[in-house]
Structure 1
Amino acid sequence: MNGFHKKYLLVAAFLISQGLVSIIGGLAFASVPGENVIFPGIFISGMEVGGLTAEQCTALLEKNLDKLQIQNIVLQHNDKKWLYSLKELGITFDIPGSVDNALREGKRGSTALKGLELLKIKVSEPKLPLEFNLDEAKFKNAISDIAKEINVQPANAFVVYEHGKVRLVPESKGKELDIAACIEQVKQALRKQGDEPVDLKVSEVKAQIKASHLKGINGVIGTGITFFSSSDKERADNIYLAVKIINGTVILPGQEFSFNKALGPRVSEQGYRSAPVLVNGRLVEGTGGGVCQVATTLYEAALYSGLKIMERHPHTSLPAYIDPGSDAAVAYGEMDLRFFNNTGGPIYISAVIANNCVSVKLFGAVKPGKSVQVISENNTDNRNRRAGRSYIRVYRIFYENGMEDRRELVSEDYYLKETIVK
């Protein structure tokens, strides 16, 4: 066969194929329904809606809405399963959106393509899902009980002091139901129209304090102890709350600790109660009364630990629960207790209450042969005499192998001579 005949046959074949496509498309398009009629062979959520008008399809879906709404969906995690109706999960069907989707099915593209699409629909019978809306607030409320069953809080690493020895207890991981991911999983399951259980996504939650953060801690480097009366319940409650907050705090090398930052505002919304607080030498009612005693106990421990004191304020009158000059007054936004970890290793704060005693221990790397002594002197201030006030100077003496290495003046304070009870 010469080249001319071969070329002629190829052109003829092409023209014939195009003609067949046009004929088939034209025949198919001849039966393509109007814009307000759904293609035959289309189903929505198991119901045949092909050939119906938009109004007829809407009526059919609304008639079966109650039955569709009580459909169940199974949520599962490991070997535990929970059964919910779609209504309980805040899922409502969008009938207008579903009808619009059905109307558009197969009606995109050119005339010939619409005809071919009709043939495809007749063969495949598309099964469209019902469009839906999901109320996230209702969904979260519905599965809150599941979250309570699944969620496990991580446990931070901590220090145990027994029989004069330190033991580090490692952290443990927690887990938490990923609600945002669960919402997406349920949406996907509804679009697939299957009856398979939804395997809920649960995320791992890591502890904030790990055993690696406590590496090098081998003993107590400083202790503070104060006593309080339990007769004033509100004040005692504030002390318990403050102790609970600072207990377990880790201060890394080169890091500064702020008492106010740790506790936050002393407001009733945070659990603080109204109790006596010292203002200008007088006891008055104020939210958070008693918190200063916890700050004072921590300050004493910081002094004996040799930590660098960045900020500390005395009371106007000397508290009865501590030696002169060793108190620390705090007020959120006004007066803070801040100290810097200059030990070269991590510090762990252990704060507990037992028998009306606030005990704060700072754990760190004990350096053999080194110790700290804190002394206070009640002096006469010949240069700056202040009538009705006592003048207290506090020194810190650092020893190495029993010999004084250096001495520093920590503070010079003036107190009203009346001693407060609390």
Structure 2
Amino acid sequence: MNIKKGKFTKPRGSAAQERARLEADFKRMTQSAGGRPDREPAGAQEPEARRKKRLKITAISVAAVLAVVVLGLSFFLWSYSRDDGLIFDNVYALNLNLSGMTQEQAAQALETQAQSLYGQSLVIHLQDRDLVLPPENTKVRLDAQAMAEAAYQYGRDGNMFDRARARSEAALSTHTMEAADFLTLDKGYIEDAVNQLGADLESTLTQPTAQVEGQRPDLSGYEGETGQEQTPIIPENGQTLILRSGQPGRHLDTQALEDRILKAFSQGDLSPISITYDETLPEKLNLQEVFQKYCLAPVDAVLDETTYVASQETLGYGFVVEEVQKQLDSAQPGQELRVPFQILVPEYTKESLEADLFRDVLAYAHTDHTWNSNRTRNLELACEAIDGYILKPGAVFSFNETVGERTAEKGYKAATVYSGMESVQELGGGVCQVASTLYYCTLYADLEVVSRAVHTFSVDYVPMGMDATVYWGSLDYQFRNNTDYPIKINASVHDGYVDIEFIGTDTKDTM
């Protein structure tokens, strides 16, 4: 029988080859029959061919993904960096936001803004003066077209990646353009103005000085002119005080000021500039020390508060510190002042202190007394104790304290006194008339009565109700000086009368 070869048949080889093939088939079948897997067990080394195949597939997959990413990113960058003809976001110039404008729109906006900003004067404030730079002198001009073009070109240089990065940065941060490259200024005028200001301010520090020329005159001949306080008394051929005011040291950093001015124009900010120059002030001349060194101070009269007699004043010679201080304060730096010395009248003179003291009779009373020698002697002793007494403002006069106890040792005699409902003889009898006369003056001078008692019976030396009785150890007559000036009490007995007089300062007509 003839057998045809099919597609599954192979030509047979030699016997040896056939045997080897059969052994291999048998080995494979026996391994399968024993349950062993066809693949390599876990942990066995992967065949090289299979590993290479797997790596190749992985590489192809990664390359495909990267290709997609690159293509997508390239498309994004291309579309993001594509020129739309508008200025990028957050681009500022002259305090204007030019974002989204065309060049023409930006140029027009910048031109309008420049006219507003640069059409005013720039003012520089210093400590004591101003520097004004008007636009007609600075001749400031802005090239709005060039600045608009530069704003448009921002972020458009470089390749696609550079442009995309610039656009991205513009969206996140602000780009401010300086106007310096687009401005024209008369820098020579600005420099000259600043330098002139610096020259006007520049000065060297000098300290003030004081000296005196001439000889001190004899002052004894001017004692009679002390009342002419309103008109200065300047002796002939006297001394003169020569003062020279100090001068501050000043310096202005002109280069720093010029740089600041140019920066203001560059930024489009012509707000007033405040700047200070360096200044070292001179020491202040102490006129009190100058006075003590060269002058003679006047000495005021002093009022004795016990006697109310003023001491004699002493004239001074020199200058009035307060007046010269005003002249020195208003003097220009380095100015010379010449001050002639004058007679200095004290503020308080003997005449002025005593002028208002004891000038007016505040009250006067005299009461007649009986011609009894003992009683008259008692009146005289009491008046002698009181006569010349000075009662200070606010002080209280006490009859008993001033006159004292009426004793024989003092010369008092026995005379009639009221004791209860009887008339008896006692030392000092009759002194109640002095107390009553004092009371009369107290009322007339409108002074304050502090303590007073009346007699049991009426008396004939004062009107009814105008008496005052005193008795050592129990009854006292007291009154207060409620005026602002001292009061002198004059008391005497003569020609049958007890005379009491209050001398003080009457302010009723002047108030």
TM-score range, shorter chain: 0.3 to 0.5
Is the helix fraction higher in 1 or 2? 2
TM-score by length of 1: 0.37
| Greater share of residues in strand | 1
Structure 2 length as normaliser, TM-score? 0.31
| Higher Cα Rg, which structure | 2
